[in-house]
Amino acid sequence: MALDLSNIRNSFPIFENKTFINSCSKGALATQVQHAYEAYLKDWAELGSPWELWVDQLEEFRSLVAQLLNAHPDEIGVTTSVSASVNALASSLDFLGKRCEVVVDDFAFPTTAQIWHAQSARGAIVKHVPETNHEIPLEQYEAVISEKTALVSLTHVCYRNGVMQDVSEIIELAHQKGALVMLDSYQLLGTMPFDVNVAQPDFLVGGMLKYLLGSSGLAFIYGRKSLIPTLTPQNSGWFSQDNIFAMDIYQNTPSSSARRFESGTPPNPNVYAGIAGLKLIQDIGLDSIDAHRVDITGAIKQGAKERGFQLVTSEDPSKHGPMITIYSNDPAKLVRLVELEGVVISHRDSNLRISPHFYNTLNDVDRLLDALTSHKEMLV
């Protein structure tokens, strides 16, 4: 069913002045999210320190993330960033035995790879799976994953070029070798349905500031329920404890749930905003958002081809996420120039990153393509 974009756009004030197609960097601000921040300030001003309310809000957010992934709330840890999520997981792993290797694909976001390399001080050996012509064929994973692999750090959608991997087959391969898998789905969640029980990653990380419409300072980690008791993060804090109000200074008693991956005081304002963002995604529906993603990215690809631009992204919609990338010989300058014309995109490597969401229209695509065409010499 086609989305009623005229109604949806009213919730995003940026479109009054800008053609914003940069959700891979940060999602557009919705009025619902802005009002959620105002509600937090009102509660703080009127109630002072309503910790019971704020803990209830945290649990509502946890439940909404669980629904997004088709997981159980006990499998969700709430953190302040994906970095915090990955650090907590990494600190719980032992690299001193036979399984001392971590496999990282070359699509990885820097923070994730850097955290795994930091584990070298604890015995971890990091092996990279190389990218070839904007792809990582399955046989390249087969060549690196082995009986020494403790964990595969797997990228769902690459932040540099928009490539979406067939994660199910890679996860199956890793499991056949006895390795765990952590899936980074930051650049996908909120744009299409994803069920952890189908793909079966052991862990998944994501955050709110992109397609889930929240803000920075709020992220999460999913951990498969059967694995959680076997992992004790060395990072800790009072919200990671079995009873957060026990205030016990004589021992560390991690929660039996994925809360053990949490740490100190949660980012209460961002939790309010995160709830609002997730409810907006839920109200529109991931199936509808996904159908719109295919249509709008298809229009970008078709328009780029017609105007002679060099697509980096595959034309096959099953091989890319919500981001489309186009080659530029000076992408940083081109991004600045089109922003002067009111069009907001971004770049990585030699690629323009164009990342629509459910709030973008075909008119947005036309304005983007017209702005790029006026600087066509930078697209060859």
Cα distance between residue 55 and residue 271, in whole Å: 10
- pLDDT of 124: 98
Cα distance between residue 228 and residue 21, in whole Å: 38
Burial (Cβ within 10 Å: 0-12, 13-18, ≥19) of residue 23: buried
- pLDDT of 29: 98
- Using DSSP's 3-state secondary structure scheme, residue 24 falls into coil
| pLDDT, block means (10 residues), the chain with 380 residues | 76 97 98 98 98 97 98 98 98 95 98 97 97 95 98 98 97 98 98 98 98 97 97 94 93 96 96 98 97 97 97 95 98 98 97 98 98 96
Helix axes 362-373, 286-306, angle to 10 degrees: 30
Class assignment of domain 5-28+286-378? alpha beta
CA dihedral 73, 184, 215, 189 (to 10 degrees): -70
Whose CA is closest to 277, among 266, 265, 289, 261? 289
What amino acid occupies position 369? Answer: L
What is the residue extent of each domain of the chain? 5-28+286-378, 50-281
Q: How far is CA 264 from CA 5, 203, 349, 353, in A?
A: 40, 21, 36, 35
Pick the CATH number of 50-281 from 3.40.50.150, 3.40.640.10, 3.40.605.10, 3.30.70.890: 3.40.640.10
- Using DSSP's 3-state secondary structure scheme, residue 187 falls into coil
**Beta bridge partners of residue 77, listed in sequence order:** 221
Cα distance between residue 63 and residue 104, in whole Å: 30
- pLDDT of 2: 65
CA 271 to chain centre: 16
Cα distance between residue 16 and residue 336, in whole Å: 20
